[in-house]
Amino acid sequence: MGKMVYHLQNCKYEANKVGMNRKISMALLPIILRRFHTTFPEEKKVYLHPIMVIALQILFVLGLIVLLILFVFRITRPKRTSQLPENYKELFTDYVKFYRQLDEEGKEKFEKRADHFLSAVKITGVNAVVEDIDRLLIAAGAIIPVYSIPDWQYINLHEVLVYPGAFNADFDQGGSDRDIAGMVGSGALQHVMVITKWQLRQGFINHNDAHNTAIHEFVHLVDKMDGTLDGVPEIILERKYVPGWKQIMETTIMQMRAYGSDIDPYGATNHTEFFAVVSEYFFEQPILLKANHPQLYEMLERIYKTGE
């Protein structure tokens, strides 16, 4: 009986203990929940301001408009047409010795540069009909001196005027004092070249001499590119070679005046004409120039980058 009473009292104690723990747990639950809430806050919802929504919509519409314009422009933009006639390969091969000596890759490069030149420079006949062959020969005269100089542009030339025959210093085509076959303009004719149709063609038809009027005049433009027409093309000649080039010019001109030379006597007029004349010789008869004037040939190789 005593043991039973003790057991019943013990059970009541345990029950009271459990109940007390439940009350304590229930009391602590809000505190635990608040702590948990503090540690892991509820994610807040983000709402865009109405003005921002409108701005984004406007930007989206503008982007679509820009894309549409670019798409339409790409479709409707006219492709640049070639300035070369259909038979340009045949004409270059028949008339331009420099072109014939190039390999296929070199010929393609020549053709592209000639096409670019003709698209950039206007060619106008003055009392003369400019034919396809004339346009191609002018382009050839422009490309030959700078063929080995990458990205060359004749920024100092806008137009080439083609006269039927020789003219005088006032660009008159009549009278007895007409002895000029080509000229780089100045003053009112700045950025203009004048060349005669007959001399232009003769320069490419006759392969037995060292004359080519087109090359001569374009060499003047190369010379003039550095701001002075003085026979020293500093824009393409490395500075360290300038003193040597001046010395060769001076020495050769003195020899020409004193003893004569196979170089055209017109080259002895001054440094400017000397550079243009020997450049004709260099491109028209390179083997002969190298044999007769090796130092001059070597320096012209440096100038035109043909030996690299």
Residues 232 and 221 both lie in one domain? no
The pLDDT tens digits for 192-209 are 999 999 999 999 999 889
The pLDDT tens digits for 243-283 are 999 999 999 999 999 999 999 999 999 999 999 999 999 99
Q: Is residue 302 part of a domain?
A: yes
Beta strands in the chain (DSSP E): 122-125, 159-163, 182-184, 192-196
In whole numbers, what is the pLDDT of the chain averaged over residues? 85
CATH code for position 180: 1.10.472.150
- Show the domain range for 271: 228-308
Residues 189 and 151 both lie in one domain? yes
CATH code for position 283: 3.40.390.10
Residues 206 and 106 both lie in one domain? yes
Q: Is residue 5 part of a domain?
A: no
pLDDT of residue 168: 86
At which of 76, 93, 125 does a domain end?
A: 76
Question: Residues 180, 169: contact at Cβ < 8 Å?
Answer: yes
Residues 151 and 47 both lie in one domain? no
Residues 158 and 205 both lie in one domain? yes
Residues 232 and 135 both lie in one domain? no
Q: Is residue 13 part of a domain?
A: no
Residues 170 and 209 both lie in one domain? yes
* pLDDT reading at 47 higher than 70: no
**Residue 125 half-sphere exposure toward CB, CA atoms < 13 A:** 13
Please tell me the distance from the alpha carbon of residue 302 to that of residue 71, in angstroms, as a whole number: 48
Q: Is residue 209 part of a domain?
A: yes
Q: Is residue 297 part of a domain?
A: yes
For 174, counting Cβ atoms within 10 Å of its Cβ (0-12 exposed, 13-18 middle, 19+ buried), the class is: exposed
The pLDDT tens digits for 139-191 are 999 999 999 999 899 999 999 999 999 988 878 887 777 888 899 988 888 89
Q: Is residue 1 part of a domain?
A: no
Its pTM stands at 0.74
For 37, counting Cβ atoms within 10 Å of its Cβ (0-12 exposed, 13-18 middle, 19+ buried), the class is: exposed
Q: Is residue 7 part of a domain?
A: no
pLDDT of residue 229: 93
Number of domains in the chain: 3
| Start-to-end CA span in the chain (Å) | 126
Q: Is residue 122 part of a domain?
A: yes
pLDDT of residue 36: 47
Residues 143 and 37 both lie in one domain? no
* pLDDT reading at 70 higher than 80: no
At which of 225, 254, 281 does a domain end?
A: 225
At which of 225, 248, 277 does a domain end?
A: 225
Residues 275 and 237 both lie in one domain? yes
Residues 175 and 93 both lie in one domain? yes
